[in-house]
């Protein structure tokens, strides 16, 4: 049976600045449940992406995970063991996430190899995953290089690769930020159907409250590395309690000519 | 009066490699448009529809294959030296990626003063005084002139780029997805700032975007582009209703204001455009 609860607790990420230790993420705790989308929201530079990277053990050089545990259905697990097997991830800029001299086929093979899947069953999986994300001619697309594809297509391929190992959880770090609105809509529809059909749990990192309104079930608001408010999405929009949350919701609603309650 | 106009402009690209040249790839087809003084015109379209190419043609970075770009009714490819200088002063541009739009080795003061050095005959003292004025007009401080781009945030750096564009007192600023990289709060603050500057100095904006929500808040007229052609043009008053299928697609893609199952409050004064308030 696949796990249904991924809990991260007391995650603290630090860096050294002028000889002093500086906390970038401070005691962050999150519970990601299968079949639900948890949105991690905050302004740029608030530590959203670093929290994701720390969970997957892929922090940039000079940045250290000082503390933190992760539990899968209540059992402790190593951070490094999450990546790719239990949590797969999709990143913000699809263009820089692919190797420019490799075809999509080579990328997919690499993923299969990392997952330890056999070549022929893997190939069937690739074609199915590509169709699953709405890429209609997988055979043709497998032979393309990244520069021959649009940002939206690349993002779909990235999601397809993330689904290959059929992991129970997905981290989506600003999955639609650089895409145009029409493509954004398609990607969000796609993520919604992934939750519904595969029963995945998604951690959605974003600064766009429109994306949150469209997709999220629960929201955690982060400011300067700390979670300042955690609530179901309706409560965040109807009755935001923290100042940071109010500002985010107010800015979002002002685009629609509305005001926060 | 028309400040800058395009008449039946067509443009395209061809790539060249060791294997010879590729087929001509048309990007713009028969585009005609004009921007008047003091207006904010939105150019709306999906990525890859030719918005940025049109901007590059309008500012004279490239010459169209067919058709004319006219600056104050004079064709761009045939300007006198003096008119060319006037064009360079009058039309400025702000790009999407502020980090790659500035020289990381220069200070903010030098970056903002660059158009002054090239386009005006100000003395160094006058230049530095103008730099301080400009930084203050975009809500940065005079001390920021000493900083280098790497020490500033994305939102601050985009304001530096806006200050640089305003330096030669332009009549038109082209904003090519100038706020797309910023987070929502910063987008709204930046647009507020631009609107304030417009009220003070009566300058025009060409606002290139794919986000219809921002168009409704910021612009007076919108042109929708699809496949290199302008397919629709309407005046903006409150909520925009677009007709063309390509525009409809963009309109439908707008994200919901409220999550599902939310008690939506009554919308008051829906068709009055309210000032953008970022910090409540």
Mind telling me how many Å the CA of A237 is from chain B's nearest CA? Answer: 7
Suggest the residue from B255, B260, B277 to mutate for an interface test with chain A (most A CBs closer than 10 A): B255
Q: At what angle do helices B184-201 and B154-166 cross, to 10 degrees?
A: 20
Secondary structure letter of residue A94 according to DSSP: H
Q: Tell if the CB–CB gap between A247 and B277 is shorter than 8 Å.
A: no
Do the beta carbons of residue A213 and residue A219 sit within 8 Å?
Answer: no
Residue B240's pLDDT band, with cuts at 50, 70 and 90, is confident
Structure-token pair, residue A226: 């700390």
- Res. B24 pLDDT band, cuts 50 70 90: confident
Which of A144-153, A231-240, B208-217 reaches the highest mean pLDDT? A231-240
pLDDT above 50: residue B81: yes
Residue of A nearest to B247 (CA): A182
Q: Name the band, by pLDDT with cuts 50, 70 and 90, for residue B22.
A: confident
Choose among B97, B98, B79: nearest CA to B87: B79
Question: Are B262 and A237 a contacting pair at CB < 8 A?
Answer: yes
DSSP state of A83: B
What are the start-end ranges of the E strands in A18-104?
20-33, 37-41, 63-72, 75-77, 87-90
Which pLDDT score is estimated for B264?
A: 60
Give CA separation, B124 vs B104, B109, B121, B131, B167, in Å: 22, 12, 9, 10, 14
B245 by Cβ neighbours in 10 Å (0-12 / 13-18 / 19+) ranks as exposed
Between β-strands B16-17 and B20-21, what pairing exists: parallel, antiparallel or unpaired? antiparallel
> Quick one: DSSP state of residue B62?
S
State the Cα–Cα distance between residues B210 and B52, nearest whole angstrom. 12
Q: A188: part of which helix (H) or strand (E)?
A: helix A181-198
Ranking A35-39, A104-108, B251-255, B274-278 by mean pLDDT, the lowest is: B274-278
pLDDT of residue A12: 94
The answer to whether B277 contacts A250, with C-beta atoms less than 8 Å apart, is yes
Q: Which residue of A has its CA nearest to B248?
A: A182
Q: Look-up: residue for tokens 């409250």?
A: A209
Most A CBs within 10 Å: which of B51, B252, B258, as the mutation test of the A interface?
B258
Q: Which of A46-50, A52-56, A88-92, A179-183 has the lowest mean pLDDT?
A: A179-183
Distance from CA of A139 to the nearest CA of B (A): 25
Contact A210 B253 (CB under 8 A): no
- Provide the token pair at A147: 């520069």
Count of helices and strands (H, E) across chain B: 8, 12
Euclidean distance between the first and final Cα of chain A, in Å? Answer: 43
Closest by alpha carbon to B220, among B201, B193, B238, B202? B238
Q: How far apart are CA A6 and CA A9, in angstroms?
A: 10
The total of other beta-carbon atoms located within 10 Å of residue B138's CB is: 23
| Contact list, B214 vs chain A (CB under 8 Å) | 255
Closest residue, chain A, to B252 (C-alpha): A182
Chain segment B3-14, per-residue pLDDT in tens? 999 999 999 888
Check CB contact of B212 with chain A, cutoff 8 Å.
yes
Q: Which runs of consecutive H residues, i.e. helices, occur in chain B? A: 51-58, 81-90, 108-119, 124-137, 154-166, 184-201, 212-218, 245-252
Taking CA atoms, what residue in B is nearest to A261? B265
pLDDT per residue as tens digits for the range B141-154: 999 999 999 888 88
Q: What is the rounded average pLDDT of the residues B24-33?
A: 90
Contact criterion met (CB < 8 Å) for B279 and A247: yes
Tokens of A118: 């056999």
Q: Are B253 and B47 in contact (CB under 8 A)?
A: no
Residues 244-263 of B with CB under 8 A from A: 249-250, 252-259, 261-263
pLDDT given at position A2: 82
Checking if the pLDDT of B280 tops 70, the result is no
Q: Does A96 touch chain B (CB under 8 A)?
A: no
Q: How many whole angstroms separate alpha carbon A29 and alpha carbon B123?
A: 57
Burial B57-88 (b: 16+ CB within 10 A, else e): bbbbeeebeebbbbbeeeebeebeeeeeebbb
Query: What is the pLDDT, as a whole number, of residue A83?
Result: 86
For chain B, give the mean pLDDT: 87
What does each C-alpha distance from B145 to B39, B111, B139 come to in angstroms?
31, 9, 12
Query: Is 60 exceeded by the pLDDT of residue B277?
Result: no
- Would you tell me how many other CB atoms lie within 10 Å of the CB of residue A157? 26
| Distance (Å) from the alpha carbon of B275 to chain A's nearest alpha carbon | 9
Tell me what the mean pLDDT of segment B203-229 comes to.
91
Residue in A150, A181, A258 nearest the CB of B253: A181
Residue A1: band (very low, low, confident or very high) from pLDDT cuts 50, 70, 90 = low
pLDDT band at B263 (very low <50, low <70, confident <90, very high): low
Asked if B261's CB is within 8 angstroms of A234's CB, the reply is yes
> Which whole number is the average pLDDT over A109-115?
88
Instruction: For residue B153, list chain A residues with Cβ-Cβ distance below 8 A.
Output: 44-45
Q: Is the pLDDT assigned to residue B94 strictly greater than 60? A: yes
Q: 3-class SS at A223?
A: strand
Query: A180 to chain B: which residues are within 8 Å by CB?
Result: 46-47, 210
Q: Which residues of A touch B216 (CB under 8 A)?
A: 255, 257
pLDDT number for residue B265: 56
Q: What is the mean pLDDT of residues B158-162?
A: 92
Residue B18 touches chain A, beta carbons under 8 Å: no
Distance of alpha carbon A248 from alpha carbon B39, whole angstroms: 30
The answer to whether residues A170 and A202 touch, using CB atoms and an 8 Å cutoff, is yes
User: Could A237 and B258 be called an inter-chain contact, meaning their C-beta atoms sit closer than 8 Å?
Assistant: yes
* pLDDT at residue B271 greater than cutoff 50: no
| pLDDT over 60 (residue A130) | yes
Residue B17 scores a pLDDT above 70: yes
What is the rounded average pLDDT of the residues A146-154? Answer: 84
Q: Determine the pLDDT at residue A203.
A: 95
How sure is the predictor about B46, in pLDDT bands with cuts at 50, 70 and 90? Answer: confident
Chain B closest-CA separation from residue A150 CA (Å): 9
Asked if A39 is an interface residue toward chain B (Cβ–Cβ < 8 A), one would say: no
Q: How confident is the model over B59-86, as a mean pLDDT? A: 90
- Does B280 sit within 8 Å of A233, measured CB to CB? no
Q: Across the interface, do B273 and A184 touch by the CB < 8 Å criterion? A: no
Instruction: Tell me the shortest Cα–Cα distance from B215 to chain A, in angstroms.
Output: 10
Q: Where does the pLDDT of residue B122 fall: very low under 50, low under 70, confident under 90, or very high at 90 and above?
A: very high
ipTM of the assembly? 0.75
The three-class DSSP label of residue B41 is strand
Determine whether B118 is exposed, middle or buried from the number of CB atoms within 10 Å of its CB (0-12, 13-18, 19+): exposed
Residue that has been written with the tokens 């040249």 in this structure: B21
DSSP helix/strand/coil, B68:
strand
Strand order in the sheet with B204-209: B91-94, B172-176, B204-209, B40-44, B221-226, B229-235
- Whether B184 sits inside 8 A of A207 (CB atoms) is yes
Nearest in space to B249 (alpha carbons), one of B13, B34, B45, B10: B45
Question: Rounded to an integer, what distance in angstroms lies between the CA atom of residue B210 and that of residue B228?
Answer: 14
Rounded Cα distance, A224 and A226, in Å: 6
Can you give the pLDDT at residue B267?
45
Question: CA A55 to CA A65: how far, in whole Å?
Answer: 9
pLDDT score of B21 more than 80: no
Helix (H) or strand (E) holding A193: helix A181-198
Kindly state whether A238 is in contact with chain B, defined as any CB-CB distance less than 8 angstroms: yes
> Which residues in chain A have their CB less than 8 angstroms from residue B270's CB?
257
């Amino acid at each position: 049976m696949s796990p249904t609860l991924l809990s991260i607790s007391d995650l603290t990420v630090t860096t050294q600045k002028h000889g002093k230790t500086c906390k970038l993420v401070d005691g962050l705790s999150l519970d990601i449940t299968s079949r639900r989308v948890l949105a991690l929201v905050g302004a740029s530079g608030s530590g959203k992406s670093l929290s994701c990277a720390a969970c997957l053990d892929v922090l940039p050089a000079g940045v250290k995970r000082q503390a933190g545990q992760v539990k899968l259905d209540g059992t402790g697990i190593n951070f490094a063991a999450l990546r790719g097997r239990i949590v797969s991830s999709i990143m913000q800029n699809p263009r820089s996430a692919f190797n420019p001299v490799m075809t999509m086929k080579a990328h997919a093979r690499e993923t299969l190899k990392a997952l330890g899947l056999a070549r022929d069953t893997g190939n069937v999986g690739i074609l199915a995953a590509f169709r699953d994300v709405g890429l209609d001619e997988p055979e043709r697309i497998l032979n393309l290089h990244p520069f021959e594809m649009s940002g939206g297509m690349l993002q779909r391929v990235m999601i397809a690769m993330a689904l290959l190992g059929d992991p129970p959880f997905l981290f989506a770090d600003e999955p639609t930020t650089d895409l145009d609105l029409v493509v954004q809509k398609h990607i969000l529809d796609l993520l919604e159907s992934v939750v519904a059909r595969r029963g995945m749990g998604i951690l959605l990192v974003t600064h766009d409250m429109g994306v949150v309104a469209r997709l999220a079930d629960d929201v955690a608001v982060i400011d300067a590395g700390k979670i300042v408010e955690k609530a179901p999405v309706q409560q965040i929009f109807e009755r935001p309690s923290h100042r940071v949350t109010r500002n985010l919701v107010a800015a979002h609603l002002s685009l629609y000519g509305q005001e926060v309650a | 009066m028309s400040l800058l106009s395009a008449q039946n402009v067509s443009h395209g690209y061809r790539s060249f490699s060791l294997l010879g040249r590729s087929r001509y790839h048309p990007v713009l087809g028969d585009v005609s448009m004009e921007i008047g003084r003091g207006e904010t015109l939105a150019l709306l379209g999906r990525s890859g529809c030719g918005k940025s190419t049109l901007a590059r043609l309008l500012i004279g970075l490239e010459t169209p294959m067919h058709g004319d770009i006219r600056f104050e009714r004079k064709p761009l490819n045939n300007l006198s030296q003096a008119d060319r200088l006037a064009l360079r002063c009058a039309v400025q541009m702000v790009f999407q990626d502020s980090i790659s739009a500035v020289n990381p080795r220069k200070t903010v003061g030098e970056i903002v003063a660059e158009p002054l050095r090239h386009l005006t005959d100000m003395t160094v003292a006058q230049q530095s005084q103008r730099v301080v004025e400009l930084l203050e007009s975009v809500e940065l401080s005079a001390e920021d002139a000493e900083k280098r781009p790497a020490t500033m945030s994305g939102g601050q750096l985009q304001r530096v780029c806006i200050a640089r564009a305003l330096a030669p007192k332009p009549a038109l600023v082209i904003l090519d997805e100038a706020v797309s990289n910023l987070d929502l709060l910063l987008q709204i603050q930046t647009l507020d700032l631009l609107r304030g500057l417009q009220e003070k100095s009566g300058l025009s904006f060409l606002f290139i975007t794919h986000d219809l929500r921002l168009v409704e808040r910021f612009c007076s007229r919108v042109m929708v582009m699809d496949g290199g052609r302008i397919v629709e043009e309407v005046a903006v008053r409150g909520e925009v209703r677009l007709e063309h299928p390509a525009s409809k697609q963009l309109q439908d893609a707008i994200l919901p204001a409220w999550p599902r199952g939310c008690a939506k409050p009554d919308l008051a004064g829906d068709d009055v455009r309210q000032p953008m308030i970022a910090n409540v």
